[in-house]
């Protein structure tokens, strides 16, 4: 028989034992689906409350959203490209940014650089790369702002991951 060993109102063990089994100083009860950690009030088993959301949870959601990337429309035959923004991608962006800045400083802002997007390779001028950087900021900054607003809440909302604040 499936039995639950309860201490101080919390299921601490699930065992298989014969009916009538007892444990000194503990409550032994039967329930078909209660698990370790469930609460018991002497008559009813209930799942434990969900753990409170933490700033670490919000940061993880923010990082997931930041890594999703964004679509950039070149406004010409190159069309729309999905620009990757994982942490690794962002490190690689620095090399392109350094190259673009050097070209602009040399007065060669129309010189092209080939980049790899999730849509495929594409040639961009040094000045176009600057426009992509602006678009990236427009994509990323609202995500940071939403995460900061959520982390400032006490308590943090249970539905923080799906809250409309991310879409503002």
Tell me, letter by letter, the H, E, C secondary structure of 59-101.
HHHHHHHHCCCEEEECCCCCCEEEECCCHHHHHHHHHHHHHHH
Residue 50's pLDDT is 84
Tokens (6 digits) for 94 = 């620095």
Residue 129's pLDDT is 98
Residue 28's pLDDT is 96
Q: Report, as ranges of residue numbers, the positions in the chain whose pLDDT lies below 70.
A: none
Residue 168's pLDDT is 80
């Amino acid at each position: 028989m499936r039995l639950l060993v309860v201490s101080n109102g919390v299921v601490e063990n699930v065992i298989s034992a014969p009916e009538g089994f007892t444990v000194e100083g503990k409550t032994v009860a039967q329930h078909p689906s209660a698990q370790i950690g469930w609460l018991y009030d002497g008559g009813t088993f209930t799942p434990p409350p969900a753990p409170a959301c933490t700033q670490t949870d919000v940061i993880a959601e923010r990082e997931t959203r930041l890594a999703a990337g964004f679509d950039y429309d070149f406004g010409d035959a190159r069309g729309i490209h999905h620009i990757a923004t994982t942490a690794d991608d962002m490190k690689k962006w620095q090399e392109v940014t350094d190259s673009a800045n050097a070209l602009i400083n040399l007065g060669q802002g129309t010189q092209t650089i080939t980049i790899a997007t999730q849509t495929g390779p594409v040639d961009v001028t040094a000045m176009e790369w600057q426009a992509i950087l602006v678009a990236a900021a427009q994509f990323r900054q609202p995500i940071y702002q939403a995460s900061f607003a959520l982390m400032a809440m006490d308590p943090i909302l249970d539905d923080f991951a799906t809250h409309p604040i991310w879409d503002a």
